[in-house]
A and B are shown apart, each in its own frame.
Chain A
Amino acid sequence: MSERTRFLLLSCLLLLSLALLYVANTALNHSILIGR
């Protein structure tokens, strides 16, 4: 695998990881209130 291909792959994985962190944090920060 060329360095350029590896760079593209790792960039995508980094973006995916950041998105996962954002989604996980948003999901855990949801409204916990009963009935709302």
Chain B
Amino acid sequence: MKLARINTALLGFIIAINGYLLLMPVFPKLTYWWQNHTHAPTSTVALNKKVRSNDSLPKENRLVAPTMHLDDQIFEGKDLSALKYGPWRLPYTSTPAKGGNTVIVGHRYTYTNPQGTFYSLDRVHVGDQIAVFWQHKKYVYRVHEVRTVTPDTVNVEAPTADNRLTLYTCTPLWLPKDRLVVIALQESSP
């Protein structure tokens, strides 16, 4: 009788673990769908809002991509551990203030935090706007190119003469063997 109760508990644990394993990766997709159908992305408002003074800008560096409902802090760090917090600017690439190629990367999906920094990067298309709030200044970019590359295509991180923002993550979602790269050219600067 006692063993029967333990077996029931074990079965419950197995169902819970496998349910978590299967359903959690779909959760960001459901969140995206819900945000798309219930209200306009708040980040669009933030992006289009006229900034009258530097006081109204966020204090921390932020990446705002309305198409993918992303409005997240950009983290700095010397190694991959920074990816645990959210979008990470690669330290050996430029910054919006310096110009050139600013490269920001993020996990597509992880079971631990953050669960889907660039989960919806595949929703971004040519012509979409992306903003970066960097050191109390706003830089607006327009997506110029979206492409999938192999993990050895190092030229996407190379310095450029034009001012651009490069975002990339893993693709496809379940068997991440390639990288999805979004290249946006600077449209306006402070």
Q: How far is the CB of A13 from chain B (nearest CB, A)?
A: 5
Closest to A25 in B: B111
Q: Is the pair B80, A28 in contact by a Cβ cutoff of 8 Å?
A: no
Q: Is the pair B170, A14 in contact by a Cβ cutoff of 8 Å?
A: no
Interface size class of A (residues with CB under 8 A): 20 to 34
Which of B4, B6, B7, B112 touches A29 (beta carbons < 8 Å)? B112
Chain A residues touching B, majority SS: helix
Q: Is the pair A10, B170 in contact by a Cβ cutoff of 8 Å?
A: no
Which of A25, A29, A34 touches B153 (beta carbons < 8 Å)? A34
Binding site for B on A (CB under 8 A): 3-4, 6-7, 10-11, 13-14, 17-18, 20-21, 24-25, 28-35
Binding site for A on B (CB under 8 A): 3-4, 6-7, 10-11, 13-14, 17-18, 20-21, 80, 83, 90, 105, 107-112, 149, 151-154, 156-157, 168-170, 176, 179
